[in-house]
Amino acid sequence: MTVGTRSGVRVRGLTRVFGERTVLDGVDLDIAPGEFVALLGASGSGKSTLLRALAGLDGEGGGEIDVPAKRAVVYQEHRLLPWSRVWDNVVLGLSKRGLRGRDLRARAEDALAEVGLSARADAWPLTLSGGESQRVALARALVRTPDLLLLDEPFGALDALTRLNAQALVADLWAEHRPAVLLVTHDVEEALLLADRALLLADGRIAREYAVDLPRPRSMDDPRFVALRRDLLDGLGVRPVATNLTTAREAL
């Protein structure tokens, strides 16, 4: 793994084998600096394995990985320390990286303000809602000013409304800070609302790629959005009951 020579991602021929199973079988992947890429695929296809490899959290495998040094990960579970207040969770580990005093305070204040949680800096994680906890996890990522943000189904455990708000927040944060992003998701609409490109992982490789060339902010009612959703669902082998409410009504 090469770290810190670029602000985007370059992966060539990445393989990961667990026991008898080849989960990644020669993945090639490029993410340009500031590009937002969504990764979809069937359960067990290796999406999280690929994300973990980019995070450097995985054991060694074959292939080449070149990633920025400044990376941050947000998982489906917030992974906040319950015995530390929100503020301490956000700044955790940063003093070890040489960030201290005023700089640290200013960055953490900015990050909490950006996720709308300045007033909860002294709260214990157990007193937060699921959506608030994920926003703290986002603040903890932001405060590290990552060049690469790795999002592993970050909204998978949220209810539909909270999820929509969290997606809008991520869209805004990305527009403001422009890290390269790899978003692992099962949610086709989430991919199309947020990403510049959607990739489909199958049989251990990037099997298909979809350019999401839609203006932002995106609307699920845009006919091009609806067409892309159909393409992606087709690619995933899912046959939708109805592609949107209009077609559902027309079908009645």
Ligand X SMILES: Nc1ncnc2c1ncn2[C@@H]1O[C@H](COP(=O)(O)OP(=O)(O)OP(=O)(O)O)[C@@H](O)[C@H]1O
Positions touching ligand X (CB under 6 A) are 18, 23, 41, 43-49
Place of tokens 């070149």: 66
Decide whether 109 or 187 has the Cβ nearer to ligand X. 187
Strands of 62-67's sheet in order across: 2-3, 62-67, 9-18, 21-31
Q: How far is the CB of 9 from ligand X (least distance, A)?
A: 17
Asked if 104 and 95 touch (Cβ cutoff 8 Å), the reply is: yes
- How large is the C-alpha radius of gyration of the chain? 19
Q: How far is the CB of 45 from ligand X (least distance, A)?
A: 4
Q: Is 208 left (phi over 0), alpha (psi -120 to 50) or beta?
A: beta
Q: How far is the CB of 41 from ligand X (least distance, A)?
A: 5
Decide whether 147 or 153 has the Cβ nearer to ligand X. 153
Q: How far is the CB of 57 from ligand X (least distance, A)?
A: 10
| 134 alpha carbon, distance to own chain's centre | 12
Decide whether 142 or 184 has the Cβ nearer to ligand X. 184
Asked if 76 and 233 touch (Cβ cutoff 8 Å), the reply is: no
Q: How far is the CB of 88 from ligand X (least distance, A)?
A: 30
Decide whether 48 or 89 has the Cβ nearer to ligand X. 48
Strands of 197-202's sheet in order across: 71-74, 148-152, 180-184, 36-40, 197-202, 205-211
Q: How far is the CB of 23 from ligand X (least distance, A)?
A: 4
Decide whether 46 or 131 has the Cβ nearer to ligand X. 46
Alpha helices in 178-235 (DSSP H): 188-194, 223-235
Using omega within 30 degrees of 0 as the cis cutoff, is the peptide bond preceding 240 cis? no
Decide whether 27 or 72 has the Cβ nearer to ligand X. 27
